[in-house]
Amino acid sequence: MLYLLDADTLITGDRKAYPLARFPVFWLWLEHMGSAGRVKVPLEQYEEITVGKGPLVDWLKRVEIRDALLLKEEAVPAIVRDVTLRGYGDLNDTEIEEVGRDPFLVAYAVAPKGERTVVTFENSSPGKK
């Protein structure tokens, strides 16, 4: 099983549960699991985090961390489109901006059925605008 991490998992992990400075062993374990191919961060989620600043961004940008955690594949456009239509509907350009990069994360997860799990703190809110 491959676990795909959403950006909020890393951000929340650092801010609330396992701050880098206080729990370095957790982040070493995460690097190890990435190197072992068990945990990965898709490029789109990686970029969501690394546009910012701070210790988590600095850690993620280290070559050995990026190499360990970054998923080395591209999303299939047809699957991203299908995920977007099924999960969000037919969106205009403004709505697509608001949705962000979550459809990419889901597309990576559904490509090889049953072999991947998304790890996120987000909740489904179909009625929420």
Q: What is the pLDDT along the chain (129 residues), one digit of tens a residue?
A: 999 999 999 999 999 999 999 999 999 999 999 999 999 999 999 999 999 999 999 999 999 999 999 999 999 999 998 988 888 888 777 777 777 788 999 999 997 777 999 999 887 665 655
Cβ contact 57:47 at 8 Å = no
User: Is residue 22 one of the residues assigned to a domain?
Assistant: yes
The answer to whether position 129 is within a domain reads no
Give residue 64's domain range. Answer: 1-122
49 part of a folded domain: yes
CATH of the domain at 25: 3.40.50
Is 5 part of a structural domain of the chain?
yes
Structural domain count of the chain: 1
Whose CA is closest to 65, among 110, 21, 25, 35?
A: 35
Tokens 């961004």: give the residue. 57
- On whether residue 61 sits in a domain, the answer given is yes
Q: Scanning the structure block, which residue is given the tokens 């701050």?
A: 19
In a domain, 25, yes or no: yes
